[in-house]
Amino acid sequence: MKTGIYQDKEKRRKYLREYMRDWRNKNPISYDKYKIKQKGYQKEYYRNLRLKALDLLGGRKCENCGCDNLKILEINHKNGGGCKEHKQIKSKKHYLEIIQGRKNKEDYNVLCRVCNSQHYVESILKIKGHKISWQK
């Protein structure tokens, strides 16, 4: 049987909040280092989520032109509606839903920014006739 502050979750949360606040005030340099380290972990986590989602949707290259520059690869909504979806949920959650199988992978593909713009111009604006090629 648990006793003391560990018995009640609310009391434990309150105790931990106070403890961390006091620790941050007593150790500001350590806390700044901790924040920088955590930010690095978050960036790496986000990058890995993105790469896993790209791999599940067809690989790390543009489906249209073959571009393999990770900086400009995007997840394209084949049927449109990407802007609306991004207003509702953040990218990290979107990547998680793709990885966990909550999103239908057939509705998405991997395109570079240029080809994604071309997809928008052709499917939404109904302007045809552009051709894009990727050269290394």
Chain centroid to CA 34: 23
Tens of pLDDT, residue by residue over 6-48, are 668 888 999 999 998 988 888 888 778 888 999 999 999 999 9
pLDDT of residue 5: 53
Calculate the average pLDDT of the chain.
85
Tell me which residue has tokens 């280092």. Answer: 33
What's the pTM value of the predicted model, to 2 decimals?
Answer: 0.68
Contacts of 48 (CB under 8 A, 6+ apart): none
Q: How confident is the model at residue 124 (pLDDT cuts 50, 70, 90)?
A: confident
Q: How far apart are CA 63 and CA 114, in angstroms?
A: 12
Q: Which residues face 75 on adjacent strands?
A: 110
Q: What would you measure as the largest C-alpha separation in the chain, in angstroms?
A: 73
pLDDT of residue 18: 93
Comparing 2 with 22, the larger pLDDT belongs to 22
Inter-residue contact 50 to 96 (CB < 8 Å): no
